[in-house]
Structure 1
Amino acid sequence: MPRNKISDDIEGVVKYLLTKKYSYSVIKKELSEMNLNVSRSTISRIANKIGKQRQLDLLNNQKPKFNRRRHVATPTIVRRITSYISKENPPTVRLMAARCNISIGAVFKIIRDVIHAKCRKKRPVHRLYLAVIENRRTRGWRMYHRLCNERYKNYVTTDEAWFYLDASQDIRDIYYVRSNELPDEVKKIQQNDLHPVAIMV
């Protein structure tokens, strides 16, 4: 036989007496004085919220839990990444992600969507020493006369004749430019070797 369900009024009285820290025996005695016959097991079930309806009420009264992703684009992280990309030789995206304890994709999104910066590569060039600059200044005019009037087609220049082995394997450094800034001239990375290893082609 199914158990007799007590009314909500009686259950409310039991909950009120439980808030006063009464024992089960005292609550049973108080209810008997009200001509209410409630067993100690029923009082225990009410106190421990045992029962389908009580469990359902307990779930409905709980605050909903939201599993939100951690917001990584905090002002502190944005300031750190901004300081990194503002350097002359900025670190790699992997290194910035490791220093800020965030993912590489998060660093890309912060640079692109929050800071609004673009990554560009520096152009590798050779370092010009004072002696080389002086030789170019004195020899430039004679070379101009020799190559003018389309006579340059009969010559093979040094840039065309030499293929630099180390220059072909060089990894270019990068720098960042913000979209709201005026485009500046392309930054360059200088090589200290005056005559790098080369072959004739």
Structure 2
Amino acid sequence: MPRKKSMIVWRDILKKDGICVSQQTVSNIKRNIGLQRNSVEKIKFSRQRPVATPSTVLKVIQAIDVNDPPTQRSIAKACHASQSTISRIIKQVNFTLRKKQKVHKLTSSNVEKRRRRAIRLYRQLANNRYKNFITTDESWFYLDGTEGKRKVCYIKKSDPDYDRMILQQDSSRPQGFMVWAGISSYGKTSLRFVKPGVKMNSDYYINNILKPFLSRDVPRLFSNKKKNK
């Protein structure tokens, strides 16, 4: 509605077209049009949430009820649904997302050796004797591929399959670096890094690992025990 014409002029124009309205009505219409044009509020649209069909729910369950499930984005693309719909279906069918734990791959002989040694170790550490021990070990840190296996999996809350949460690793190791450390009931030792390319023999282990451990870590960890004596 152009602003150059007055309310009276617009009333007369409408009257010629067979529309009889008052000057106040024309003014109200003009004011309402201006309010809508200058409004900063966004128009709200409401839509119903898409309903997951039984076939879609079945496809989602078949996709996630495996050891290495695909991503929710891939499932949504395969089911022609949104990712939020797939996430809602997973919650409705009582599945939960868990991160897998990396463990060493054990052979049958390894399992048998650990079973026999565990009993002897328990007898040595029983009756608070574990407080007199420091457990030390060294480990490699490296960038390792997953070999196509996902680091996460879905398990049922009502009937969890914890075997899916285990990600076994082969014994072969890529190039990396080694770190030595220890822990006891009184605290932890300092971290000692093995230089890359160094040959780990008895001389290196004694001079760079054991001697600093005995001269620095042991007195620090067991200082309170000496004072009590």
TM norm structure 1: 0.51
> Structure 1 residue 165 and structure 2 residue 141: aligned?
yes
| Residue number in structure 2 paired with 1:101 | 80
Which blocks of at least 5 consecutive residues in structure 2 are unaligned? 1-14, 19-44, 182-229
> Structure 1 residue 71 and structure 2 residue 39: aligned?
no
**Matched residues, percent identical?**
33
**Residue among 89, 93, 103 paired with 1:125:** 103
Contact 1:125 1:188 in 2 (8 A): no
Contact 2:140 2:179 in 1 (8 A): yes
Q: Which of structures 1 and 2 has the larger relative contact order (alpha carbons within 8 angstroms, sep 6+)?
A: 1
> Structure 1 residue 144 and structure 2 residue 104: aligned?
no
Give the Å deviation of 1:108.
Answer: 0.9
> Structure 1 residue 85 and structure 2 residue 64: aligned?
yes
Which blocks of at least 5 consecutive residues in structure 1 are unaligned? 5-65
Give the Å deviation of 1:81.
Answer: 0.7
Contact 2:95 2:154 in 1 (8 A): no
TM norm structure 2: 0.46
| Residue number in structure 1 paired with 2:94 | 116
Q: For the residues of structure 1 that align with 2:121 and 2:75, how far apart are their CA atoms?
A: 49
Q: Over aligned residue pairs, what C-alpha RMSD do you find?
A: 3.7
| Residue number in structure 2 paired with 1:200 | 180
Give the Å deviation of 1:79.
Answer: 1.6
Aligned AA (1:200): W
Question: Cα gap change, 1:156/1:101 in structure 2, threshold over 3 Å: closer, same or farther?
Answer: farther
Q: For the residues of structure 1 that align with 2:127 and 2:144, how far apart are their CA atoms?
A: 33
Which of these two proteins has the greater Rg computed from alpha carbons?
1
**Secondary structure of 1:71 counterpart:** coil
Aligned length: 136
**Secondary structure of 2:118 counterpart:** helix
Give the Å deviation of 1:153.
Answer: 2.2
Contact 2:100 2:166 in 1 (8 A): yes
Task: Write the deviation string for residues 21-70 of structure 1: whole angstroms up to 9, x where unpaired.
Answer: xxxxxxxxxxxxxxxxxxxxxxxxxxxxxxxxxxxxxxxxxxxxx99568
**Secondary structure of 1:157 counterpart:** strand
